[in-house]
Amino acid sequence: MSSSIQVEQVHKTFMKPTGETVHAVGGIDMDLRPGTFYSFVGPSGCGKTTMLHMIHGLLPPTRGRILLDGDEVVGPTPNKAVVFQQALLLPWRNVTDNIQFGIENDRGMSATERREICDKYTQIVGLRGFESHYPHELSGGMQQRVNLARALAVNPEILLMDEPFASLDAQTRLLMQEELQRMVDWKNSGKIVIFVTHDIEEAVFLSDVVFCFSFRPGTIMKEIKVPFPTPRTLRVKEEPEFLQIKHDIWELLADEARKAMEE
């Protein structure tokens, strides 16, 4: 089973309680194919999170539509999972129970299987030994890793990640970039991964396709294909072609970032 997603002329306008409106997403088209890793990069406030949430069905588009295998997305479904930008851990659950949050309603899964999955992802995100810790006893980076493990545990066909590595230290971040490729293995499993990040190098390193967002209202300025075969090792980051792509995206986004700063 593998799914594809069509985003057709999607707009999102927020209405604040004061009556003010914010045009966050301004007409986006995307054709997302199975077995592909996509990144969203763009200035802060350009609608990346909003777009991600609309794809999951957490927010309805104001205009346009989003199709998953030809059917309009009307709400979250168990074949999609989000790593939220804020860790959003339940303070009253320890690490294991937080990781388990998304799979405890899966009736096809026995308690032991569930346990094994939790153990596996606890291990992968490097939280062995912290199973019974509560969120307030974890560092920001550790909380973010629980957030990541919670989504991975669902083993979704469509994995939506909103700056999942933002609060990790530089070393862990590099390790996780490599590790993520092994963990999710989207090529062979036919998954779609969407990864939001501010780190252009990270986006290019991980992605098959990088979507560059313009400043608000967010539109796709450019869709850049990254030709390197996957899985990649960190050495790829030194290749001239990699540096060239990174540089091109930088140039493209610099102007938009300036607009964002001037707001």
Partner 1 sequence: MGALSNFYQEQRRWLNAIFGIGVVAAFWSFADWQVNSELFFVGPWRVVTYTYGLFASGEILDDLYISGIEFFWGFGVAAFAGIAFGMIFGISRVFREFFDPWLSAVYATPSVALAPLIIIWFGVDLTAKIVIVLITAVVPIVLNTYTGVLSVGKEFQTLANSFCIPQRQVLYKILIPGSLPYIVTGLRLGISRGIVGVVVGEYFGAYAGLGYQLFKGLDTFNMPLMMSCAAMLAGTGVVLNQVILVIERRMAPWRDSTLQE
Ligand X SMILES: Nc1ncnc2c1ncn2[C@@H]1O[C@H](COP(=O)(O)OP(=O)(O)OP(=O)(O)O)[C@@H](O)[C@H]1O
Contacts with partner 1, residue ranges (CB under 8 A):
56, 58, 75-78, 81-82, 84, 86, 88, 90-94, 101-102, 105, 134-137, 154
d(CA 247, CA 140): 31
46: contact with ligand X by CB under 6 A = yes
d(CA 89, CA 145): 10
Q: Which of the listed partners (partner 1, Mg ion, ligand X, none) does 44 bind, with a CB threshold of 5 to 8 Å by partner kind?
A: ligand X
Nearer to ligand X, 25 or 95 (CB): 25
50: contact with ligand X by CB under 6 A = yes
d(CA 240, CA 236): 9
Q: Which of the listed partners (ligand X, Mg ion, partner 1, none) does 19 bind, with a CB threshold of 5 to 8 Å by partner kind?
A: none
For ligand X, the binding residues in 177-206 under the rule CB under 6 A are: none
If DSSP codes are grouped into helix, strand and coil, which group holds residue 130?
coil
Q: Which of the listed partners (partner 1, Mg ion, ligand X, none) does 47 bind, with a CB threshold of 5 to 8 Å by partner kind?
A: ligand X
Q: Of the ranges 42-50, 117-125, 185-193, 234-242, which one interacts with ligand X (CB under 6 A)?
A: 42-50
d(CA 186, CA 181): 8
49: contact with Mg ion by CB under 5 A = yes
Look at the block and give the residue holding tokens 């059917």: 71
CA 31, 188, 248, 211 torsion-angle sign: positive
Nearer to ligand X, 48 or 246 (CB): 48
What does residue 18 show for φ and ψ, rounded to 5 degrees? -75, -10
Angstrom distances, CA of residue 88 to CA of 118, 147, 172, 205: 18, 7, 20, 27
Size, binding site for ligand X by CB under 6 A: 13
For ligand X, the binding residues in 98-157 under the rule CB under 6 A are: none
Least Cα distance to 192 among 32, 8, 10 occurs for 32
16: contact with ligand X by CB under 6 A = yes
Nearer to partner 1, 72 or 137 (CB): 137
